[in-house]
Amino acid sequence: MAKTTHIAVISIPAFSHQVSIVEFCKRLVHLHHHFHVTCIFPTIGAPLPATLTLLESLPSNINYTFLPPVNKQDLPQDVPSAVQIQLAVSLSMPSFQHALEFLLSTTSLEALIADPFANEALEIAKEFNILSYIYFPPSAMTLSVFLHLPALHQQISCEYRDHKEAIKIPGCVPVQGRDLSEHFQDRSSLDYKLILERCKRLSLAHGFLVNSFSKIEEDSERALQVHSRVNNSSNNSRVYLIGPIIHTGSSNEPKGSECLRWLESQKANSVLYVSFGSGGTLSQQQLNELAFGLELSGEKFLWAVRAPSDSADGAYVVASSDDPLQFLPNGFLERTKGRGFVVPSWAPQTQILGHVSTGGFLTHCGWNSALESIVLGVPMVTWPLFAEQRLNAVLLAEGLKVALRPKFNENGIAEREEIAKVVKGLMVGEEGEMIRGRIEKLRDAAAEALEEDGSSTRALYQFGTQMESFVGHS
């Protein structure tokens, strides 16, 4: 019988990252039965209720601990949520070090797996002489961009959004500077300083576990393998595409039952699902334009609507308690009754995307949502808001060609006529039909990647065996 292999995993205080890393841990211990994982969570204030629900169903060989909370009032209030999260993680590093010391003294801890936004932990792992890896929740293309940021920083002197030519990164779709990650867009900002430090620190990792699969990112995977061998300080550094890892949620979500019942009465592929993820928010002006655009399109829709905010990630750390329905245009609900269904704040996303009536998904392009749409074969309208979502939109619309991307005006607003045109194009247009055919092929490829002999299952198995062989020779 194989001896137990202990692994520590650290995430960040953002549910989209936590859910991805927990689902990864479940898959890891399912494939490697003798692995035991301890998940370590920095927190801002109390743990997120959704996180506590997520942790209720862990198998016996995964346990977890919350680090002492960082007080939100101790963080700068005038910075984006992403910066607050990164600063909170940095403040939690002494507590993390104590947690790692405890695990080292009580178990045969052999490796650490860190979220890329908690990669100070790689330096601590190096001090303790244990193997360290990055679990990368976004795409392989995004990882490639992150790994190349230090070089881009030297090569391009202006703001990336002002750079005239497309930026070419090995293995990736050419990207306009304005479509690079939100964190890159202001070189004088604390956000940029933090992300540049984190990108430089990635070279400390012994390998990267990426939530993607070979069929959709073959070129990026190949380029990453080359980059990793040439540039990483850790010998034998490898890149493993081990996705798609998605969270299916509970099958008996009471809050979702009403909208699911409504879907039951609709025709196949007739409904556009509209959602901006666990934290995305629109301004009041954009909320109005989206409502009028959906109305103007004449198509059926199911919209998980959130209260507006001037910050695109306004609900990422703390959600508004306001009733979002009061912010919709006057008479909108009455005029679209029967054709549209509006859900306040939250909806059971994977159940909706998996429903036969759902024919399209207007999404903020968070990678979790993009993968769910691919796994369930639903064509997309891309509406990126923050983080690396514009990169994802480029990959989905221009690389994989499984999405349509609306045009935004000079003020950054998608106007109602444009929204209506794109929605109709996806739901009933010829281009939408071609997109549906392509994404159904990717759906099948995603399922194949996760089969017993699929590319992602093989990659995750190789990660476990190679990690143990490194431990054996260290």
pLDDT in tens, 142-190: 999 999 999 999 999 999 999 999 999 999 999 999 999 989 999 999 9
Residue 151: how many CB atoms within 10 A of its CB?
Answer: 12
Q: Which residues make beta-bridge pairs with 222?
A: none
Of 284, 318, 265, nearest to 305 (Cα)? 284
Residue in the block written with tokens 């995430």: 11
CA distance 368 to 22: 13
> What is the DSSP-derived secondary structure letter of residue 61?
T
> What is the DSSP-derived secondary structure letter of residue 176?
-
Q: Which residues make beta-bridge pairs with 114?
A: 10, 134
CA distance 118 to 85: 10
Strands 358-363 and 380-382: parallel
Q: What is the pLDDT of residues 411-440, one digit of tens each?
A: 999 999 999 999 999 999 999 999 999 999
94 preceded by a cis bond (ω within 30 of 0): no
CA distance 442 to 436: 10
What residues are annotated to the active site?
A: 17, 115
CA distance 408 to 275: 18
Cβ atoms of 354 and 273 within 8 Å: the answer is no
In 3-state terms, what secondary structure has residue 122? helix
What is the per-residue pLDDT for 29? 97
> What is the DSSP-derived secondary structure letter of residue 142?
H
In terms of pLDDT, which residue wins out, 135 or 309?
A: 135
Q: Which residues make beta-bridge pairs with 208?
A: 134, 239
| pTM for this entry | 0.95
Q: Which residues make beta-bridge pairs with 342?
A: 303
Q: What is the pLDDT of residues 28-37, one digit of tens each?
A: 999 999 999 9
Of 318, 299, 298, 300, nearest to 309 (Cα)? 318
Band (317; pLDDT cuts 50, 70, 90): low
Direct distance between the N- and C-terminal alpha carbons of the chain, in angstroms, rounded to an integer: 22
Break the chain down into helix, strand, coil percent, rounded to 5: 50, 15, 35
Domains present along the chain, CATH in parentheses: 5-243+451-473 (3.40.50.2000), 254-447 (3.40.50.2000)
What is the per-residue pLDDT for 233? 54
In terms of pLDDT, which residue wins out, 317 or 78?
A: 78
Mean pLDDT (the chain) is 93
